[in-house]
Amino acid sequence: MISIAIPSSSLINEKDEKLKAYKVGLIARAAVIFRVEKIYIYRDPLLDESDYIKDILEYLETPQYLRKSLIPIKDSLKYAGILPPLRIASHRPKHLKIGEVRDGVVRKVGPDGTAWVDIGVKALALLRGAKEATKSARVTVRVCSTNPLVVEEAEPPEYWGYKVEKVELRDVLNEDAVITSRLGRVPSWEEIKEIAGRQKITLIFGSPEEGVQSITRRLGIEIDAEVRNIVWNMIPMQGVATVRLEEAVYASLAIINFVKCSVGGMK
């Protein structure tokens, strides 16, 4: 499982609201291109826009036909119209096919536990064999029949999107973490291969103004003493003064993805 961790101060240099939203959209696109399963937003007291970033990330990941049901109107989503679509497997068209897997939201639960799910068409679908269904819960289902409309709970058959979680930086500085930094050392192919082959990996990124090490020092976290994290420079010989956060996310994930898929057919 690949995860990324970005600071709540990720947008500290952006003043234009449209550019702020679009930058988060670019990070979301990078995440789904490289099949990231979790995006952590770690709190930076210098600027805590965790809720704003989380709102946009979750809005983009939610299938279009469920957004009205799951996402309330918020100021943070004022410029949602300029965000790049993710076009991931869970974002299905409205036309149904028997056997397909799609996301839905539980709209009604009867006294006997019978659940009815909105899967993006006019009629609600009967959720067959539901176990403790909760109203307004998001569920993944398989279409069993279209007339009558019946679905059953199912597991996603492929990459389905990411989850978003707000955390403290200390929470993600663990044995699965790789800190990306211009001040880090350039890893060898063998080192990247070992990391890419792990079951879990979290790439941690700094803010546009500070690297992860600077943030940890400001927060009083001793990286080497506490967790002995790997610190890598994933963009050596950079030809610009600074690499933007979204650019670092794309570059780092591309390297991990390439090595992961080049070694022994890893998935």
Same domain for 9 and 61?
A: yes
Query: How confident is the model over 196-210, as a mean pLDDT?
Result: 93
The CATH number of the domain where 49 resides is what?
A: 3.40.1280.10
Same domain for 51 and 176?
A: yes
Query: How confident is the model over 32-41, as a mean pLDDT?
Result: 98
Same domain for 68 and 189?
A: yes
The reply to whether 90 falls in a domain is: no
Residue 134 banded pLDDT, cuts 50, 70, 90: confident
**Joined tokens for residue 204:** 């941690």
pLDDT at 225: 43
pLDDT at 111: 85
Same domain for 25 and 73?
A: yes
Give me the number of domains the chain comprises.
Answer: 2
Same domain for 19 and 72?
A: yes
The reply to whether 96 falls in a domain is: no
Same domain for 133 and 174?
A: no
Query: How confident is the model over 120-139, as a mean pLDDT?
Result: 88
Same domain for 60 and 127?
A: no
Phi, psi of 248 (to 5 degrees): -65, -40
Q: Cα separation of 114 and 226, whole Å?
A: 50
Does the pLDDT at position 224 exceed 60?
Answer: no
pLDDT at 95: 86
The reply to whether 58 falls in a domain is: yes
Same domain for 22 and 125?
A: no
Residue 17 banded pLDDT, cuts 50, 70, 90: very high
Q: Which helix (H) or strand (E) is 256 found in, with range?
A: helix 245-262
Final residue before a domain boundary, out of 137, 153, 169: 153
User: pLDDT tens digit string along 139-196?
Assistant: 999 999 999 999 999 999 999 999 999 999 999 998 889 999 998 899 999 999 998 8
Q: What is the dihedral of CA 262, 252, 37, 17, to 10 degrees?
A: -150
Same domain for 174 and 258?
A: yes
Same domain for 81 and 141?
A: no
Same domain for 42 and 130?
A: no
Mean pLDDT of the chain: 91
Q: Which 8-state DSSP code applies to residue 78?
A: T
Residue with tokens 């003493």: 225
214: left (phi over 0), alpha (psi -120 to 50) or beta: alpha
The answer to whether the Cα torsion of 140, 142, 145, 150 is positive or negative is negative
Residue 56's alpha-carbon distances to 21, 25, 30, in angstroms, are 7, 7, 14
Same domain for 184 and 214?
A: yes
Q: Which helix (H) or strand (E) is 151 found in, with range?
A: strand 149-153
Q: Which 8-state DSSP code applies to residue 264?
A: T
Rg of the Cα atoms in the chain: 21
Q: Cα separation of 126 and 124, whole Å?
A: 7
Query: How confident is the model over 19-27, as a mean pLDDT?
Result: 97
Query: How confident is the model over 123-131, as a mean pLDDT?
Result: 87
The reply to whether 92 falls in a domain is: no
Q: Which helix (H) or strand (E) is 26 found in, with range?
A: helix 17-33
Query: Is the distance from CB of 134 to CB of 113 less than 8 angstroms?
Result: no
Q: Domain span at residue 185?
A: 2-85+161-262
The reply to whether 149 falls in a domain is: yes
The CATH number of the domain where 118 resides is what?
A: 2.40.50
